[in-house]
Structure 1
Amino acid sequence: MHTADTGSDGTALDSPDPDPVALSHEFLRTVKTGGSTHRVASRLRDLDREALAGGLDGDDARLAFWINVYNAAVESLLDAAPETFGDRSALFGADVVTVAGRDLSPNDVEHALLRGARPVWGLGFVRNPFPSAFSARFGVDDLDPRIHFALNCGAAACPPIAAYTRDGIDRELDTATRSYLEQETEYDPDAGVVRAPRLLLWYLGDFGGPSGATRFLREYGALPEDAAPKLRFRDYDWSLETGNFAE
């Protein structure tokens, strides 16, 4: 049986066999409140892999866990060393967290574990045919493109950080997606053009190509249901902005 997803009272740290999702909540809460992450990072590092597999018993748990871990680890690093944001390729490729003895970079968490072993490059149209045993065991089974509106790498254009739960992940990702697209999509019906967030270009294959991206925008209310405009993409604001937590 899983413990509660919150972990906000520290029980995830005290339990001899903590629920991974609760532990990810504790990690995120500690970062948000400016506390020391040493203890929770140690618990993540020392997780037993059988316990991790048991706790991440489906994509709902895997999505919540890895999104929370990504956001907490990156925010923690940038809080401590904001200068690392100046070299983004190094930032995304550097190990920022250890889970069950496995050192992981932001790229590892996003692309191997949350995107189903898809490469950083390739716009989401290519899948790694030889994923690591770790990502095959602990990563999501089915890619959910809404993750792109939940992950925060420290840039001003990133979506705000929220705590995701096993039981509420579908609703929470829907809320994050609708909010981000509402703020970041510009539709000009007279010109027949929509300027979508650049995230949809970078991961175009995740959304099913250009036509899939347009359908996605309609599905989440960023376009009228009968609209079929030309698809353009906005520039991305890479200014550093930490502490962007959802209300």
Structure 2
Amino acid sequence: MTTTAPATRTDLPEDPLSLAHDYLRAVRVGESPTPYEAALRDLPRERLRAALGTDDARLAFWVNVYNATVQSVLGASPEAFEARNAFFTAPLVAVAGERLSVDDVEHGLLRGSRPKWGGGYVRNPFPSAFERTFRVRERDWRVHFALNCGAAACPPVAAYDADRIDAQLDLATESYLGQEVEYDPVADVVRVPRLMFWFVGDFGGRSGIRDALRAYDCVPEGADPTVRFQSYDWTLEAGTFAPVEAW
């Protein structure tokens, strides 16, 4: 059960990265997210700009904000997932005075202004000024294995830190692909998660997918299997967190 807490607190970190991390931790342990959401909303934009000076910082911050928001909303109102399009596009979070949907966070800020529909090959030519300022500069396809939208097919939620996010994303990718990829060497076919089809351009096309599978030992070096895409399990399964040691 979520405990009650005042909407404002004086003991929250001023650093945006720490604030986003603590917001996610609060959701995980059942603490009221309201003070953290208020602090994120009221962040001075210059403080956010100073904190998010690198892509590592931007990745850690926005992944934590995305996962905390999704888990907070679905934990309190699981019925919101029944109308998924409305859930993903509703302005559920405010950061530095900017109202954002989880789609805004994922596709605008974490994927560098690539719309949801377009396979990762199309870039939004008219992003907002906020998006242009705070989006990642270079896409990192591993982010798809760090985001949890509340569905059963999503990877578990962990907290990310700017100073070790490369290793953390490697771990998340290795774990998710190791569990989800199905390779049949006799038929020379590999079945991969559906999100690799939805965002195939993020991975560099099918050849890039094969490269990723080889890099994470899902198929042997030299293998060039046919890539097939699995279906996606949209069953609501909120509250799926990685083990504590992953935090």
In the TM superposition, what whole-angstrom CA distance separates every residue of 1:40-73 from its partner, at most 9, and x where no partner exists?
1110000000000001110000000000000000
Q: For 1:219 and 1:22, how far apart are their aligned partners in 2?
A: 32
Write the letter of the residue equivalent to 1:213: I
Task: Report the equivalent of 2:183.
Answer: 187
Alignment pair present for 1:14 and 2:14: no
Select which of 102, 116, 126 maps to 1:130: 126
Other-structure match for 1:95: 91
- Would you identify which runs of 4 or more consecutive aligned residues in structure 1 move more than 6 Å? none
Tell me the CA shift for residue 132 of structure 1. Answer: 1.1
DSSP 3-state at the match of 2:162: coil
Q: State the one-letter code of the partner of 1:239.
A: T
Cα pair 1:13 1:23 within 8 Å, conserved: no
Partners in 1 of 2:179 and 2:211 — Cα distance? Answer: 18
The unaligned stretches of length 5 or more in structure 1 are 1-11
**Equivalent-residue separation in structure 2 for 1:225 and 1:127 (angstroms):** 33
Q: Deviations over 1:92-130 (max 9, x none)?
A: 001111000001101000000000000110110111122
Match of 1:201 in 2: 197
Deviation at 1:161, TM superposition (A): 0.2
SS of structure 2 residue aligned to 1:159: coil
Deviation of 1:13 (Å): 5.8
| Structure-1 separation of matches of 2:217 and 2:166 | 17
User: For 1:210-229, what aligned pairs fall within 5 Å after superposition?
Assistant: 210-229=206-225
Specify which of 74, 77, 80 is matched with residue 70 of structure 2. 74
Distance 2:61 2:121 in 1: 25
Q: Which residue matches 2:101? A: 105
Amino acid at match of 1:187: Y
User: 2 CA distance for matches of 1:14 and 1:232?
Assistant: 50
CA displacement at 1:18 relative to structure 2: 1.2
Aligned: 1:139 with 2:135 = yes
Residue 47 of structure 1 corresponds to which residue in structure 2?
43
SS at match of 2:190: strand
Q: Give the superposition deviation at 1:88.
A: 0.7
Identify the match of residue 169 of structure 2 among 173, 182, 188: 173
Query: Could you say if the C-alpha distance between residues 242 and 13 of structure 1 is closer, same or farther in structure 2, counting changes exceeding 3 Å?
Result: farther
Cα distance in 1 between the residues matched to 2:240 and 2:210? 28
Number of residues of Structure 1 aligned to a counterpart in Structure 2: 235
**Which consecutive unaligned segments of at least 5 residues does structure 2 have?**
1-8
Aligned residue identity for 2:65: V
- State yes or no: 1:154 paired with 2:162: no
- 2:113 alignment counterpart: 117
Q: CA deviation at 1:240?
A: 0.6
Partner of residue 241 from structure 1, selected from 237, 241, 246: 237
Answer yes or no: is the 8 Å Cα contact 1:114–1:139 preserved in 2: yes
- Matched with 2:5 is none
- Determine the structure 2 residue equivalent to 1:30: 26
What is the RMSD of the two structures over their aligned residues, measured on CA atoms? Answer: 1.1
User: What amino acid is the match of 1:170?
Assistant: D
Q: Do the aligned residues in 2 keep the contact of 1:13 with 1:43 (CA within 8 Å)?
A: no
> What is the TM-score when the length of structure 1 is the normalising length?
0.93
SS in 2 for 1:103: strand
CA distance in 2, matches of 1:224, 1:37: 45
CA–CA distance in 2 between the matches of 1:153 and 1:90?
A: 13
Measure how far apart 1:14 and its partner are.
2.6
